[in-house]
Amino acid sequence: MPLPPAGFENELVYRDHVSRLLAAKNTVFSISGRIPLDPSQLVLFFRTKSGITHSLDFPIDVDYNTPPALDVLIAACRPHQTSDLDSYADHESLFYPPNLPLTTSLEIANHPILAAVRTTLFPNLPEGHYLTAVRDRLEVISSGGRMGPQSRTLRNDGRVATLSVTLPVRFRGGCMIVRSESYGTEEKYYGRGGKTGDMEWTAFLTDCDYEVETVEKGCRVSILYGVYLKTFGTGVGEPLINPSDGLFDLLAPVLNMSRGRKIGFFLCHDYGVNPAEVLAESIVPHLKGGDSILYHALKLYKLNPELHWTAGGYIWAVDQTVESLSEDVSVPGPTMYSPMPAYPLTMGTPAMRGAFGLPDADQVVNLRHRIEASGALPLPEADVTVLTDGGTLGKERVPFVSGASLEKLCVNTLIVVFVP
């Protein structure tokens, strides 16, 4: 396999790209996706102060035909209190008064949006907790208008996140910017401009501010929902999420500098499975948080990521479980031979002896032989370069006997992908 570009400077740049990518993977505060819904099946109903009820059909392209109901809707809206009167925008951003009735034929509960929000933004939510969505308000930005920063303090009603659904009204520009105070960073969601097809949504945590850049053409209409946390008692397919453009920007240089190599990323969450009983690939439908986002980002690059078990500098094949650990590792096996030297791993991977956590050197050697007998290969022999910055790693555990005690081998999970 070709080695990475020679030179100390290239190595530093490579490490920097890896660190930034992993930092973004582990600091998820917003996510976007699509709703598989025919826009012609969507209807918006609203009542003005005069008491007259109107209906608005979709999709809409104001450059060709502006429905009278849309003009009535815009006329009934009010400007945001946070509108920037000193800006160069031609029009203010508007919102529909919350005291006037408004509803749509779109039912959030009929689409697994909240499940996707839970998996990515709340990966450690305990069993018995679930998310509900309550309609907040409708926002309108006409051509030439923009929305100034909407502070998180305006949404202090106990919600844990905010969900924004863009209605199928054509527009150009109007990029949505989400900023996180906790992580000190931002994500930009350019969207599809209300084009015919699947509808788009964006969700972000409650400690985030958001704003919308200038709408250059058309009209941007969106409905916001408050996402609340509730409690109750004590197959892979196409993903419902789209990794952010910022994550793709961080992933691209890492993949470009890894061409011709097989690279691995540690999962950072625990999944409560026994590696001696199930394949690592069985975790894929249950991936959560940054693990899910990175996995699907690699899939969107048309790559073929695989999950492998790894422990102490060894890696098992994708179709292998962690086996042959049922015997007492303090007793030498029948096929003992001189111990292999511990392979030093690059990018901060721990040495094999320390990873097993056994005080007796002979037991470490015996355990290593058991692992080799199960079909595991040292990472260098498997040609896998592990990319890690020493952060938190997800751990699964395999019990084994050592002397008179029952120990547990900590096994990590790697997302392994070959970059052509």
pLDDT of residue 355: 47
Strands 261-266, 384-387: parallel, antiparallel or unpaired by DSSP? parallel
Say if residue 81's pLDDT is above 80: no
C-alpha pair distances (Å), 361 with each of 35, 367, 374: 56, 10, 20
DSSP state of 126: P
Q: How many CA atoms lie within 13 A of 341 on its CB side?
A: 4
Under the banding of pLDDT at 50, 70 and 90, the label for residue 36 is confident
pLDDT, tens digit, 9 for 90 and up, residues 257-277: 999 999 999 999 999 999 988
Considering 50-64, 327-341, 363-377, 398-412, the range whose residues carry the highest mean pLDDT is 50-64
pLDDT, tens digit, 9 for 90 and up, residues 82-98: 655 454 445 678 999 98
Closest CA to 219 of 164, 172, 163: 172
Under DSSP, is residue 416 helix (H, G, I), strand (E, B) or coil?
strand
267-299 burial, b for 16+ CB within 10 Å, e for fewer? Answer: bbbebebebbeebbeebbeebbbbbbbbbbbbb
pLDDT of residue 336: 33
User: How many Å apart are CA 278 and CA 262, to the nearest integer?
Assistant: 23
User: How many Å apart are CA 280 and CA 120, to the nearest integer?
Assistant: 20
Compute the radius of gyration of the chain from its Cα atoms. Answer: 26
C-alpha pair distances (Å), 51 with each of 46, 101, 418: 10, 10, 62
User: How many Å apart are CA 227 and CA 191, to the nearest integer?
Assistant: 21
Concatenated DSSP letters for 316-365?
--TT----S--S-TTS--TT--PPPPPPPPSTTPPPHHHHHT-S-HHHHH
Amino acid at 143: S
Whether the model clears a pTM of 0.95, i.e. scores above it, the answer is no
Under DSSP, is residue 42 helix (H, G, I), strand (E, B) or coil?
coil
pLDDT, tens digit, 9 for 90 and up, residues 337-364: 333 333 333 333 333 334 455 445 666 6
Amino acid at 100: L
pLDDT of residue 4: 54
User: How many Å apart are CA 102 and CA 54, to the nearest integer?
Assistant: 10
User: How many Å apart are CA 174 and CA 79, to the nearest integer?
Assistant: 17
User: How many Å apart are CA 281 and CA 318, to the nearest integer?
Assistant: 7
Work out the average pLDDT over 165-189: 92
